[in-house]
């Protein structure tokens, strides 16, 4: 009888192994993404506790049917006030003081030309892709433009293949923005397919010197407008300078000023109401985010420090100093002002809970980011109706910081970890969410379409930290993958 036991055990062991292999093969197969799929039908609709979509011939937009988002564009009859032609190229890039690297240019340079406009003007940008093999697009980061102009491959357009071109048109909103490819975004943004967009307000303050500072790491070297190290702007003492800091890198960047105090006059293209002067504190600019710093240059000059590179505002030198340990808390910065909607009138609250878990994404095992417990593409699609006030509760228990970016809208920050905002209305399109933090945000769903809502540490987006905000009754004719090879991240 003693022989039967090991044999029985062996049989059990074999069966268990077979079952485990079968189960993992099944899970692996389940996790595979199809060769092409619609972003709009990805995951499961999440109504945030509000009314679900009406069933019926036109009711169900989660997938196909409904208004085609590519038709959401400014009236073709409006003449362009600002016209820009860009040529995108994959090439070896030589920046001053840097080793040559394989990158991308627009009109032969990176960053691409700074596009300047005045508030209310119609901007028209034609981009021709000369030789970027994977195709490319231009996304207007932070601009709340019509969805058809959002430049996301596989969602609002097809990737522009070599030899093709594409026209973007939108009405300029005042503020500091940037543009970048949203096709194979991680390699293309890192490699330099980006530039600044600066829109002057209707009533600019006279005598202020405007200085865009697009910060980017090229091959590990931090640069300002493509220049490594120290950049100088020789301005006489007494000049007011508005430094428009744009963080195009994957991580948060502390910015501060030595030699003078400064005011944070705008964040993500939205003015701060009555900003207080800051000394001895840095402001943290999240990945993808912008902060406009106003500095009145004193006799001894001032230096804007951008975590490794700096801007000297002086005809001579400027003092340097240690990095401050304290940060401006935008939750309590500036003075309150009325907002054009009532956050308490929200009809939906969406949870965007970022975690981390073991699993398979597209057949690859890993310790991946999760959204509300699910791995991509098993993530929520936040569904709204035009005109609604909605809330988001964004939390992070993943152990790492995530710069969360919603396309096409600005979100009002209501609270962080239960502490209510008491300062100026703080509106963001890119929000630094540290591990352990929970933000309450609110917005008006006033810009129909299908909008990405993802982490702007672009490798994280590739790893599945990406979802969408969808408007009921709208759909996209584009697919991810497919014959155009659309891969937004
Ligand atoms: Cu700056 Cu979805 O991107
Ligand atoms: Cu992230």
| Three-state SS letters, 62-112 | CCCCCEEHHHCCCCCCCCCCEEEEEEEEEEEECCCCCCCEEEEEECCECCC
Task: Answer yes or no: is pLDDT of 435 > 50.
Answer: yes
The arithmetic mean of pLDDT across residues 334-350, rounded, is 97
The arithmetic mean of pLDDT across residues 41-50, rounded, is 88
Residues whose CB falls within 8 Å of the CB of residue 265, separated by 6 or more in sequence, listed in order: 242, 271, 272, 275, 292, 293, 294
Cα-to-centroid distance, 251 and ligand 1 (Å): 14
Q: Measured from the CB, is residue 356 less than 6 Å from ligand 1?
A: no
- Predicted pLDDT at 196: 98
- Predicted pLDDT at 360: 84
Cα-to-centroid distance, 81 and ligand 2 (Å): 37
Nearest ligand by distance to the CA of 405:
1
Task: Answer yes or no: is pLDDT of 35 > 80.
Answer: no
Choice among 190-194, 269-273, 315-319, 447-451 with the minimum mean pLDDT:
315-319
Q: Measured from the CB, is residue 139 less than 6 Å from ligand 1?
A: yes
Q: Measured from the CB, is residue 452 less than 6 Å from ligand 1?
A: yes
Residue 407 CA: nearest ligand 1 atom is 2
Strand-pairing partners, residue 282, are 327
Residues 408, 444: contact at Cβ < 8 Å? no
Quote the Cα angle for 286-160-249, to 5°.
15
Cα-to-centroid distance, 361 and ligand 2 (Å): 16
Residue pointed to by tokens 């840097």: 98
Task: Answer yes or no: is pLDDT of 57 > 60.
Answer: no
Nearest ligand by distance to the CA of 354:
2
Residues 447, 173: contact at Cβ < 8 Å? no
Residues 404, 439: contact at Cβ < 8 Å? no
**What gap in Å lies between CA 319 and CA 193, rounded to an integer?**
34
Cα-to-centroid distance, 67 and ligand 2 (Å): 31
DSSP string over 376-415:
TTS-EEEEE-TT-EEEEEEEE-SSS-EEEEETT--EEEEE
Cα-to-centroid distance, 405 and ligand 2 (Å): 10
Structure tokens of 353?
A: 């809970």
- Predicted pLDDT at 202: 94
pTM beyond cutoff 0.85: yes
Task: Answer yes or no: is pLDDT of 211 > 60.
Answer: yes
Residue 141 CA: nearest ligand 1 atom is 1
Distance of CA 81 to the CA centre of its chain: 27
Cα-to-centroid distance, 466 and ligand 2 (Å): 9
**What gap in Å lies between CA 310 and CA 232, rounded to an integer?**
8
> CA neighbours within 13 Å on the CB side: how many for 440?
13
**What gap in Å lies between CA 216 and CA 224, rounded to an integer?**
7
Q: Measured from the CB, is residue 180 less than 6 Å from ligand 1?
A: yes
Q: Measured from the CB, is residue 182 less than 6 Å from ligand 1?
A: yes
The arithmetic mean of pLDDT across residues 157-182, rounded, is 98
Q: Measured from the CB, is residue 166 less than 6 Å from ligand 1?
A: no
**What gap in Å lies between CA 181 and CA 283, rounded to an integer?**
27
Q: Measured from the CB, is residue 456 less than 6 Å from ligand 1?
A: yes
CA dihedral sign, ordered 414, 419, 424, 428 = negative
- Predicted pLDDT at 55: 54
Task: Answer yes or no: is pLDDT of 40 > 80.
Answer: no
**Interstrand relation of 309-313 and 230-233 (parallel, antiparallel or unpaired):** parallel
> Which 8-state DSSP code applies to residue 272?
P
Which pLDDT band, with edges at 50, 70 and 90, does 59 fall under? very low
- Predicted pLDDT at 405: 98
- Predicted pLDDT at 31: 72
Residues 53, 63: contact at Cβ < 8 Å? no
Cα-to-centroid distance, 320 and ligand 1 (Å): 33
Of residues 250 and 28, more confidence is placed in 250
The number of residues in the chain equals 489
- Predicted pLDDT at 54: 67
**What gap in Å lies between CA 88 and CA 225, rounded to an integer?**
18
The arithmetic mean of pLDDT across residues 162-177, rounded, is 98
> Please, which residues have CB less than 5 A from ligand 2, an ion?
402, 455, 457, 460
Residue 180 CA: nearest ligand 1 atom is 1
> Which 8-state DSSP code applies to residue 318?
-
* Coil vs helix vs strand at 60: coil
- Predicted pLDDT at 2: 45
Backbone angles phi, psi at 343, to 5 degrees: -60, -25
Task: Answer yes or no: is pLDDT of 62 > 70.
Answer: no
**Each residue of 392-423: pLDDT tens digit?**
999 999 999 999 999 999 999 999 999 999 99
Cα-to-centroid distance, 138 and ligand 1 (Å): 10
Q: Measured from the CB, is residue 487 less than 6 Å from ligand 1?
A: no
The arithmetic mean of pLDDT across residues 2-17, rounded, is 72
Report which secondary-structure segment, H or E, holds 258.
Answer: strand 253-258
The arithmetic mean of pLDDT across residues 166-190, rounded, is 97
Residue pointed to by tokens 């710069």: 403
Of residues 28 and 443, more confidence is placed in 443
Nearest ligand by distance to the CA of 246:
1
Backbone angles phi, psi at 254, to 5 degrees: -75, 140
Residues 257, 304: contact at Cβ < 8 Å? yes
Nearest ligand by distance to the CA of 151:
1
Q: Measured from the CB, is residue 454 less than 6 Å from ligand 1?
A: yes
Which pLDDT band, with edges at 50, 70 and 90, does 214 fall under? very high
Q: What residue's CA is closest to ligand 1, atom 1?
A: 141
Q: Measured from the CB, is residue 468 less than 6 Å from ligand 1?
A: no
Task: Answer yes or no: is pLDDT of 76 > 50.
Answer: yes
**Each residue of 443-474: pLDDT tens digit?**
999 999 999 999 999 999 989 999 999 999 99
- Predicted pLDDT at 10: 82
Structure tokens of 443?
A: 């917005």
Residues 146, 170: contact at Cβ < 8 Å? yes
Cα-to-centroid distance, 85 and ligand 1 (Å): 21
**What gap in Å lies between CA 93 and CA 87, rounded to an integer?**
15
Which pLDDT band, with edges at 50, 70 and 90, does 30 fall under? low
Structure tokens of 169?
A: 């048109």
Q: Residue 275's closest CA among 330, 205, 334?
A: 334
Which pLDDT band, with edges at 50, 70 and 90, does 77 fall under? very high
Which pLDDT band, with edges at 50, 70 and 90, does 295 fall under? very high
> CA neighbours within 13 Å on the CB side: how many for 55?
0
Of residues 403 and 59, more confidence is placed in 403
Percent of the chain surpassing pLDDT 90: 81
Task: Answer yes or no: is pLDDT of 1 > 50.
Answer: no
What does pLDDT average to over the chain? 93
Q: What residue's CA is closest to ligand 1, atom 3?
A: 141
- Predicted pLDDT at 184: 92
The arithmetic mean of pLDDT across residues 117-121, rounded, is 98
Percent of the chain surpassing pLDDT 70: 95
- Predicted pLDDT at 5: 60
Q: Measured from the CB, is residue 142 less than 6 Å from ligand 1?
A: no
3-state helix, strand, coil in the chain (%, to 5): 10, 45, 45
């Amino acid at each position: 009888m003693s022989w039967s036991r090991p044999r029985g055990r062996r049989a059990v062991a074999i069966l268990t192994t077979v079952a485990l292999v079968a189960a993992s093969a099944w899970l692996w197969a389940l996790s595979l993404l199809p060769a092409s799929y619609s972003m709009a039908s990805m995951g499961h609709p999440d109504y945030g506790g509000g009314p679900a979509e009406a069933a019926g011939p036109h009711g169900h937009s989660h997938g196909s049917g409904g208004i085609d988002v590519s038709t959401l564009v400014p009236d073709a009859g409006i003449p362009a006030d600002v016209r820009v032609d860009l040529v995108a190229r994959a090439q070896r890039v030589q920046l001053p003081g840097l080793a040559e690297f394989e990158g991308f240019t627009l009109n032969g340079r990176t960053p691409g030309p700074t596009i300047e406009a005045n508030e209310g003007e119609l901007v028209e940008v034609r981009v021709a892709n000369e030789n970027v093999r994977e195709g490319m697009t231009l996304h207007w980061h932070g601009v709340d433009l019509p969805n058809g102009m959002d430049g996301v491959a596989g969602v609002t357009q097809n990737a522009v293949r070599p030899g093709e071109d594409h026209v973007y048109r939108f009405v300029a909103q005042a503020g500091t923005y940037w543009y970048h490819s949203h096709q194979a975004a991680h390699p293309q943004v890192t490699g330099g397919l980006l530039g600044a967009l600066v829109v002057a307000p209707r009533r600019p303050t006279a005598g202020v010197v405007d200085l865009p500072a697009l910060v980017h790491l090229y091959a590990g070297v931090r640069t300002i407008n493509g220049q490594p190290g120290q950049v100088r702007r020789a301005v006489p003492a007494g000049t007011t300078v508005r430094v428009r800091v744009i963080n195009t890198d994957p991580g948060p960047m502390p910015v501060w000023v030595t030699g003078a105090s400064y005011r944070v006059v705008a964040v993500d293209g939205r003015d701060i109401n009555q900003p207080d002067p800051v000394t001895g504190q840095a402001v943290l600019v999240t990945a993808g985010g912008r902060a406009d710093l106003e500095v009145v240059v004193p006799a001894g000059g001032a230096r804007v420090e951008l975590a490794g590179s700096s801007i000297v505002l002086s005809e001579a030198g400027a003092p340097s100093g240690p990095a401050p340990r304290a940060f401006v808390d935008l939750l309590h910065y500036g003075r309150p002002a009325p907002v054009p909607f009532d956050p308490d009138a929200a009809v939906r609250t969406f949870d965007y809970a970022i975690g981390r878990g073991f699993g398979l994404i597209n057949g690859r095992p890993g310790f991946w980011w999760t959204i509300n417990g699910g791995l991509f593409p098993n993530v929520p699609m936040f569904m709204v109706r035009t005109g609604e006030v909605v809330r988001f509760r964004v939390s992070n228990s993943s152990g790492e910081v995530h710069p969360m970016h919603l396309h096409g809208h600005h979100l009002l920050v209501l609270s962080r970890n239960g502490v209510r905002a008491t300062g100026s209305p703080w509106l963001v399109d890119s929000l630094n969410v540290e591990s352990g933090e929970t933000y309450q945000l609110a917005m008006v769903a006033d810009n129909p379409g299908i909008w990405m809502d993802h982490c702007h540490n672009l490798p994280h987006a590739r790893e599945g930290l990406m979802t969408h905000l969808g408007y009921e009754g709208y759909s996209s004719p584009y697919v991810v993958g497919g014959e155009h090879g659309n891969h937004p991240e």
